[in-house]
Amino acid sequence: MNKIIILSLLLILTGQAAAQETADTLIAKRNVFSSSVYRKGARLNNSMLFDLYAKSKAYDAEKQLKNSRILVPLGAGVSVAGLALSIHALMGTKHTAVIDNVEYTYFKRPVINLLGGVGMMAAGICLMEFGNDKRMQSVDLYNKKKKHDALHTRIGFNEQGLLGLRLSF
């Protein structure tokens, strides 16, 4: 009977500790080319994340978020430029040639420009995904910092005068 009471008490306390831990943590949801960060069910924008990181002194997470803010738009721009270069290469330029006094019209489509445009699109997509990875990493760093800051240990004498170790998390 005592084992059941102790076990149920232990389960209740760990459930409360887990509920307290999830109240302050950030949750990142990854989409195809973007990621969103939520706290207590509310979506956070970049300025809210910067304020939160500054208040909790999570400087590593703030650095990762700054890198993410640079890489995602840069990747989108490189992808659009690659798409434009590919379309321009596929449209080609109109040329005419005279062979045996007959005029022929043809389109010159540079393969190098097409391959460069496809490569730029791929590089832009990689930059966007790397920026999203940086955002996810900033959330993980913040959550690790909050978990580390929540752990407090004290060594000393208790009320009965015995030496003890007190952990609070």
How far does Cα 57 stand from its chain's mean position? 19
Structure-token pair, residue 111: 């393969």
Interval 110-148: pLDDT, tens: 999 999 999 999 999 999 999 999 999 999 998 888 876
Total-model pTM:
0.69
